[in-house]
Amino acid sequence: MTEAANLSEAVSQPAHVPDSLVYDFDMFHDPALLVDPHKRILDMIKSAPPIFWTPRNGGQWILQGHAANFDAARDTESFSSEIMPHEQVEAILAQLPPDMPHIPRAYPINLDPPLHAQYRMPLQRVFSPKTINALSGSIRTLAGELIDKVVGQGRCEFMADVAEPLPVQVFLKMLGLPLERLPEYRALVKEHLSETDPNPATSIARLQQVAAAMRDTVLERREHPRDDIISMLWQVEIDGRPTTLEDLENYGVLLFIAGLDTVMQGMGHGARHLALDPALQDELRKDPALVAQATEEMLRRYTFTVPPRRVNRDLVFQGVEMKRNERAILFLPGADLDPKEFPQPEKFDLRRDGKPHIAFNAGPHRCLGSHLARVELNIVYEEMVKRLPPFRIDPERPPKFKGGHVVGVEELHLVWEK
Amino acid sequence: MNMGSLVRATELTMKIRINKAACVGNARCWAVSEELFPLDDDGYIEVEEVDVPPGMEALARRGARACPERVIEIIEDEK
């Protein structure tokens, strides 16, 4: 438990927070979370209230019950996605020197309605199920190539060998970015993932690098459109005005930060489950049509995204008094393991005929990339059981996990008979 | 009166009613039945009310249950 040393400092409990709602949980460094994340979350569901306040990470509300997440996610007036109010951000930016390079912003993930919808609308068609399903052939080819590359080795580090390169390649392809730049983007993703520097200047600088890495292509597509997202985004309007280079950079950054780390962690959790569950592997090998159901249950059992919100007004939410500008964390992994919603939540049940999970969140911020993520997840699991012999976790090298806004898998060593 | 119309008189008819404004585009209903739950080009539900053709009742129920936003209602009426 060396991580205990890394726990963020505890802040003092505000007067309106009753002792009964205080529970010590550092969402980045909780030692048990880093040993086995969803085991820890199942335990937390039993031992802490559905809404609790933790003194860690600057002091914040954690919404872990299903009802709390479902209602808060849909109440955008009370729970804002603008971690700093939009007007305040605009005021700060307006004071910067005019020759300062554009600071890309991940619109619309950090906007509230109605502005949210204006920026989201142009992306919806591109990420609609119909458009995404048309990409499945090329995604399958990529997945097959990555798995075939390791099959003869009898082992792989799944995250670096499959889970990370696949979505990055799909991202480049969809945006229309040159594939030669794959190493550059993989390096940026890697930096983004291993970021521990709390200084916002570091992450701003990287977002600027992400924007810079696509600028040539973005400008080129304005003159010479092709069949890709960048070209399409030049042709749409945001609230009646044509898109600008800044808009394109904002979108690029959004797709980069929201679309890569997330699905790859989903793959990591799912592949780990498969490695621990040989009977499920057998079942899916015999009947690949069951993979889609397995993907849904994996998403429920191992929900991994943890979106932050800002309490937008003083309120009493499900009996809990909260103050304006406090931080409230939508701890979705807890919501999908809530026994009130999912009986025997710890059980992976391929035929669970219950209520749908909210792994992609609820409300207007429902993950824009959910359809793409599902296709990628389905294909990876299908190709794994098709191309690999029965695989398991390398007993010599247990997996490593990470906490934070995406509860993820850092390393997953799989082995099989050559 | 023939037997067919007698039987039909006691059959239930099923309607799907959707709170379209509350759809956030999960498209899980569409994944259950593209026919009962058509989507627009943005991937959101296109219709507010659907008469369920006989034989598709189970699919309609499954599609309604699949909605994470819980905006799909099944209405059963006696004819």
Task: Give me the tens of pLDDT residue by residue for chain B, a chain 79 residues long.
Answer: 445 455 554 566 899 999 999 999 999 999 999 999 999 999 999 999 999 999 999 999 999 999 999 999 999 976 5
Q: Which residues pair with A322 in a beta bridge?
A: A315
CB contact under 8 Å between B27 and A129, yes or no, is: yes
B42/A363 touch (CB, cutoff 8 Å), yes or no: no
Give me the phi and psi of A118, to 5 degrees please.
Answer: -60, -40
CA distance A297 to chain B (A): 13
Mutate to test the interface with B, among A69, A71, A121, A124 (most CBs of B within 10 A): A124
Tell me the range of A31-45, A74-88, A119-133, A167-181 where mean pLDDT is highest: A31-45
Q: Which range (A30-44, A178-192, A267-281, B43-57) has the least confidence?
A: A178-192
What is the pairing mode between strands A60-63 and A327-330?
A: parallel
User: What is the rounded average pLDDT of the residues A283-305?
Assistant: 97
Residue type, A57: N
Tell me whether residues A355 and B27 touch, CB distance under 8 A.
Answer: no
- In this complex, which of B25, B28, B31 lies closest to A124 when CB atoms are compared? B25
Which residues of chain B make contact with A364, given a CB cutoff of 8 A?
24
Q: How many Å lie between the alpha carbon of B70 and the closest alpha carbon of chain A?
A: 9
Least Cα distance to A255 among A157, A143, A172 occurs for A172
Q: Taking 90 as the threshold, does the pLDDT of residue A102 lie above it?
A: no
pLDDT tens figures, A143-158: 999 999 999 999 999 9
Name the architecture of domain A2-416.
Answer: Orthogonal Bundle (1.10)
A103: its two tokens: 């600071």
Residue contact B68–A363, C-beta within 8 A: no
Hey, where are the domains in chain A? Answer: 2-416
Could you tell me the residue ranges of all domains in chain B? 3-78
Residue A67 Cα, gap to closest chain B Cα (Å): 12
Q: Distance between CA A76 and CA A400 in Å, rounded?
A: 35
CB contact at 8 A, A185 and A214: no
Cβ distance of B68 and A128 shorter than 8 Å: no
Nearest beta carbon to residue A129 from set B24, B43, B65: B43
At residue A159, does pLDDT exceed 70?
yes
Which residue's structure tokens are 């690999």? A388
Tokens 């521990």 found at: A196
Hey, are the CB atoms on B24 and A362 less than 8 Å from each other? Answer: yes
| CA distance, residue B8 to nearest chain A CA (Å) | 31
Question: Which residues from A are below 8 Å from B28, CB to CB?
Answer: 356
Q: What's the pLDDT at A333?
A: 98
Residue A331 neighbours by CB distance under 10 Å: 27
Question: Which positions ≥6 away from A188 have C-beta within 8 Å?
Answer: A206, A209, A210, A213, A256
Residue B1 pLDDT: 45
Chain B residues closer than 8 Å to A289 by CB: none
Half-sphere exposure of A259 (CA within 13 A, CB side): 24
Q: In the structure encoding, which two tokens stand for residue A219, read together?
A: 């400008």
Residue A1: band (very low, low, confident or very high) from pLDDT cuts 50, 70, 90 = very low
Please give, rounded to a whole number of angstroms, the shortest distance from the CA of B51 to a CA of chain A.
Answer: 24
- A360: chain B residues, CB-CB within 8 Å: 26, 68
Q: Which two tokens stand for residue A353?
A: 């005929």
Decide if A356 and B30 are in contact by the 8 Å CB cutoff.
no
Architecture of domain B3-78: 2-Layer Sandwich (3.30)
The DSSP element (H or E) to which A192 belongs, if any, is helix A182-193
User: Which residues in chain B are closer than 8 Å to A122, comparing Cβ atoms?
Assistant: none
Which residues does residue A400 pair with via DSSP β-bridges, in sequence order?
A411
Residues of B in Cβ contact (< 8 Å) with A358: 68
Alpha-carbon span A68 to A72, nearest angstrom: 6
Residue A384's pLDDT band, with cuts at 50, 70 and 90, is very high
Share of chain A above pLDDT 90, in %: 77
CA distance A54 to A203: 25
Which of B62, B67, B69 to substitute to test the interface with A, most A CBs within 10 Å? B69
pLDDT in tens, A199-243: 777 878 888 988 998 999 999 999 999 999 999 999 999 989 999
Size of interface A-B (CB pairs under 8 A): 49
A116 has a chain B CB within 8 A of its CB: no
Q: List A residues 59-88 in contact with B (Cβ-Cβ < 8 A).
A: 74
A-chain CB neighbours of B24 within 8 Å are 362-364, 366
Residues of A with Cβ-Cβ distance to B44 under 8 angstroms: 124
Provide the CA A360 distance to its chain's centre, in angstroms.
Answer: 8
SS3 B60: helix
Chain A interface disruption, residue of B23, B30, B32, B42, most A CBs within 10 A: B42
Which one of B23, B24, B33 would you mutate to disrupt binding with A, by most A Cβ within 10 Å of its Cβ? B24
Residue A296 is predicted with a pLDDT of 97
Q: Check residue A303 and report its DSSP letter.
A: -
The tokens 């280079």 sit on which residue? A245
Note whether B25 contacts A128, CB cutoff 8 Å: yes
ipTM: 0.89
Residue B24 tokens, joined:
């956030």
Amino acid identity for residue A154 in this structure: G
**Segment A38-45 mean pLDDT:** 98
CB contact under 8 A, A125 and B41: yes
